[in-house]
Structures are given as structure tokens and as C-alpha cells.
Structure 1
Amino acid sequence: MKKDAIDKLFGDLEGSFDVHETPTGHQKRFLDRLNEVEKPSEKKRGWWKPLSIAASIAVLIAIGSTSLKTIPSEKDLASVSPEMMQTQSFFTTTITEELQKLKKITAPETQQLVNDALKQMDILEKEYKILKTDLAVSGNDKRVIYAMISNFQNRINLLQQVVEKIEEIKTLKAYRNEITL
């Protein structure tokens, strides 16, 4: 059955096959053109290899020189003492809870207040990262530790004030709605 289908296919295509002879010298001309295309790429390869090696060496030198610089690592309050670890844990837990309360509030009249509070939190977080580096450089200087604790307290106070202000706005809005009814 398959043989019949193949015979039929060739029978239908008979006369449409390219059966002409190639012109004399065709193969030689083809090989000459092929060789012409290969020659320019060999010239490129000659300067490309040393250039890539030089670039690799330059990158390795740059990476090596930056890694040799002594960059102080960051230290948290938790690295100072076990008491400070508890203090940091308390502050981070409280801040997380207050942030969750703040993010749950989606009233349009308080949205600007929430956005401003989140911007302030970003600023305080950046300041804390600087303090972490300062703590590593200073070797557990008490002034830096106090500044870190103060930063945590400022964040908590900010979040609490914003949540209280939003609650006041909600209460005022509910009161106004009751009066108008």
C-alpha cells in the first residue's frame, strides 16, 4: 500500500524535477567563493584573541583590587550582646506589626498619610543601614548603639502616630456621617 502511494507521488511529480546539468566549472567557482569568505574572518581572529585576553586580565585586576580594599561589614544590635539581640527582636516585631496595621488601611482619605509614612520609614531604614556600618567600624561604640535604638524607637513612634491619626480621621468621618443623617 505504501509503495503504491510513493509510485503515485513520483508519477504526479514526473517532469517537474530539475534534471539539467550544472555548467562546467561550477564546483571550482563555488569553492573559490567559499575560500574568499573564509579569508577575512581569519584576519579578524588574529587581533580578536589577544584583545579578549587583555580585556579578561583587566577585569580580573579590577575585581581583585576592589576585593582587597577593607570594606567594613555591617553589624546589627544582635551582634553586640544577647540583651541587644532581644531588644532588636522586640523592635523588629513591633515595627512589623505596626506596618501590617498601616498597610491594611486602604481608605482614600488616608492614602496620602500612609504613603508619606512609608517614605519616612524608608529614610529611617537607610539611616539604620548607615548606623550598622558605623557600628562595625567603631567597634560597638555605645553612642552608635544608642543611635540604633533611637532609630528603632523613631520608627515605632512614627508608625503609632500615623495609625492614631488615621483612627482619628475615621472617627471624625463617622461622626460627620452621623450628624448628616
Structure 2
Amino acid sequence: MDAFLISFGIIFLAELGDKSQLMAMTFATRYRAVTILAAITAATALVHLVSVLVGAVVGAALPTDAISIVGGIAFLGFAAWTIRGDELDDDEASAAARGGRSVFFTVGLAFFLAELGDKTMLATITLATDHGVFGTWLGSTLGMVAADALAIVVGQQLGARLPERTVKFGAAIIFVVFGVLLIAEGLT
């Protein structure tokens, strides 16, 4: 129980204001909250499972330079994709409106890449070196999902009040900023 509580608290606080939380807010301006939250939960559970296993087995941090650079390039790609926009046919549009698989996988992939080498991943590895694997995994996953759920609520409110063009360019700017920061982090 200690591992769960410590991991939940640390990861929740570490996630506040993090790029993942800003991404959750951005996605929430366009897509259904339940789909975003499910994708975030799946991606987070997977990344944090790897993190606790690495922390338990190796007890040391992953070399994250290359992972940061790849993640940064992916974010720049997400920015270009956001600006370009998507052309949906009728089937894809109805799937997206229902919170279909394409939205789930897009959000899940974005979060998976964002979390690789991120401070919450490294914090989870560190926590797993000293605490129970299951409690650390569950606590860190739920701590991150709780912080991102707050961002989804804020994103939905902004999406209802801001023009689509503003949301699109705001999201692209956020992706560019974090892409550049990830690449810079990987190169230093």
C-alpha cells in the first residue's frame, strides 16, 4: 500500500503541467473524453509496466537520449499533422464521432511516445527500485491518469468556447514546443 500511495502522489504531482497533461487538454478539445481517457490509461499502463520492470530488474535509468530525439521528431510530425488537418471520409468521420479506434490509437500512440524517457517514466523506474512492483505500477499509472483526467475536463471547456482554428494552431504550437524540447534534451 505504501508503494501505491507514494507512487500515486509523486506521479500525480510530476504530471501537473507536464506535456502529457497539455496533450490531454488538446485532444479533449476535439474528441470524446472517454476515448481519450481510455487511450491515456492503456498507454500509461504499458509504459509504467515497462518502467517498474526495468526499475525492479536493473535498478538504473534507461539511456533516454535517443528515445527523446525520436519522441521529439514524432511531436514535430504531430504538429504538421495538426496544421494540415485530416480529410475524413464518411465512415471515418462517424467512427471519430463515436470515439472510434483511429482516435484511440492516435491518442494512445501520442501518449506512449510522450512518456518514453519522460520524467514520470524515470520517476516510476526510480520508485520501483525501492518499492513494490505492483503497487508502484498501479499508483504511478493511476496518478498520471488522474492528472490527465483533470486536463481533459479543462480541454473540453476550452474546446466548447474557442474557434476550431485557434485550437488547431494552439495544439500545433504545443506539439512543436515539446518536440523541440525533447530533441534538445536528447542532444544534451
Relative to the length of structure 2, the TM-score reads 0.26
Q: Which has the larger radius of gyration?
A: 1
Larger RCO: 1 or 2 (CA < 8 Å, sep 6+): 2
